[in-house]
């Protein structure tokens, strides 16, 4: 078990008839940034709350830092930002952290260190209510970082941030990772996870679809074809790479193929009589990655028939 900071097996949570988390097996290794990825309602928050001992599982096993979830000695080594951070609006960022530090039995040195880590020292005397959303979120992370916990659990740390704030948060998490911090974060943005995570677990409708490295997920390059007739374009693509590697999205044909194959593809399309408007390398959206993985739609986690 060494090297594994979190291990779950068959982790399940039911609310009445509804299975929010369905036999999830998850492993987070020491020193990695692990992205727990899935659409809204997929079961991410419920899982994170179970890891922290805030929600009792219906079934399955959890080990966090070698202990059952919620064990006080393990919790002391975990920093978490799961609900939005509750801070006092009229206190400064620094004083808010001091309040948290007192609860945790930490001194002001820990507060200053945490402020430094999230790059808020210069604004630490400003009142919380004056902070931008990004600063509020960074203060939340600072709170989770008090005392330098071994494991950081962050639920949607970039949620609600503007692009600049998101980039700041990504940089912060990467910087922490470079210092050896283990981070488990949830996100519904594949692009974001690709930029900060070493490994990713993909969850939809309560089920873990895959646990993989970002490189593997990224590995599949695609080509997108816009042409008419679409059916013929699709047949050509299927002949070239096999039907299981072809999908039709938004009136375009998308195939898993390296960009280097586009001349070959264009020739094949033209000789089949397809009017080719466009062939370009495709960037997979999370939705497409999900579809490619499983045929499960993303938006609301409901099943679609492929």
**Closest separation between CB of residue 43 and ligand ATP, Å?**
4
Q: How far apart are the first and last CA of the chain?
A: 39
Judged by beta carbon, residue 43 or residue 93, the one nearer ligand ATP is 43
**Closest separation between CB of residue 186 and ligand ATP, Å?**
7
| Residues making up the chain, counted from first to last | 306
Task: Name residues whose C-beta falls within 8 Å of residue 183's C-beta, 6 or more positions apart in sequence.
Answer: 32, 33, 34, 151, 152, 153, 154, 173, 176, 177
Task: State the burial class of residue 230 (Cβ atoms within 10 Å of its Cβ: 0-12, 13-18, 19+).
Answer: middle
Judged by beta carbon, residue 32 or residue 155, the one nearer ligand ATP is 155
**Closest separation between CB of residue 140 and ligand ATP, Å?**
16
Q: In whole angstroms, what is the distance from residue 214 CA to residue 216 CA?
A: 5
**Closest separation between CB of residue 50 and ligand ATP, Å?**
9
Judged by beta carbon, residue 42 or residue 152, the one nearer ligand ATP is 42
Asked if residues 126 and 92 have their Cβ atoms less than 8 Å apart, the reply is yes
**Closest separation between CB of residue 87 and ligand ATP, Å?**
21
**Closest separation between CB of residue 57 and ligand ATP, Å?**
12
Judged by beta carbon, residue 24 or residue 65, the one nearer ligand ATP is 24
Q: In whole angstroms, what is the distance from residue 72 CA to residue 76 CA?
A: 6
**Closest separation between CB of residue 206 and ligand ATP, Å?**
7
Contact residues toward ligand ATP (CB under 6 A) are: 15, 18, 20, 38, 40-46
Judged by beta carbon, residue 15 or residue 90, the one nearer ligand ATP is 15
Judged by beta carbon, residue 192 or residue 256, the one nearer ligand ATP is 192
Judged by beta carbon, residue 18 or residue 86, the one nearer ligand ATP is 18
Judged by beta carbon, residue 46 or residue 247, the one nearer ligand ATP is 46
**Closest separation between CB of residue 300 and ligand ATP, Å?**
9
């Amino acid at each position: 078990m060494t090297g594994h900071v979190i291990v779950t097996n068959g982790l399940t949570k039911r609310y009445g008839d509804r299975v929010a988390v369905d036999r999830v097996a998850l492993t987070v290794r020491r020193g990695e940034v692990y992205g727990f990825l899935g659409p809204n309602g997929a079961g991410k928050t419920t899982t994170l709350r179970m890891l922290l001992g805030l929600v009792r599982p219906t079934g399955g096993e959890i080990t966090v830092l070698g202990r059952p979830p919620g064990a006080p000695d393990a919790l002391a080594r975990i920093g978490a930002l799961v609900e939005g951070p509750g801070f006092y609006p009229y206190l400064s960022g620094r004083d808010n952290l001091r309040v948290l530090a007192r609860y945790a039995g930490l001194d002001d040195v820990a507060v200053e260190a945490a402020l430094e880590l999230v790059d808020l020292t210069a604004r630490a005397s400003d009142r919380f209510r004056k902070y931008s959303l990004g600063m509020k979120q960074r203060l939340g992370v600072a709170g989770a970082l008090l005392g330098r916990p071994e494991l950081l659990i962050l639920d949607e740390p970039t949620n609600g941030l503007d692009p600049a704030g998101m980039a700041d948060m990504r940089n912060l998490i990467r910087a922490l990772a470079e210092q050896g911090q283990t981070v488990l974060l949830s996100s519904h943005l594949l692009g974001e996870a690709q930029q900060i995570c070493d490994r990713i677990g993909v969850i939809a409708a309560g089920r873990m679809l895959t646990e993989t490295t970002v490189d593997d997920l990224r590995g599949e390059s695609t080509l997108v074809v816009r042409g008419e007739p679409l059916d013929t374009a699709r047949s050509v693509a299927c002949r070239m790479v096999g039907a299981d590697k072809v999908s039709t999205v938004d009136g375009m044909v998308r195939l898993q193929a390296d960009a280097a194959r586009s001349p070959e593809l264009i020739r094949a399309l033209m000789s089949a009589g397809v009017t080719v408007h466009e062939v370009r390398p495709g960037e997979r959206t999370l939705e497409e990655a999900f579809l490619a993985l499983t045929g499960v739609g993303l938006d609301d986690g409901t099943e679609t028939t492929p």
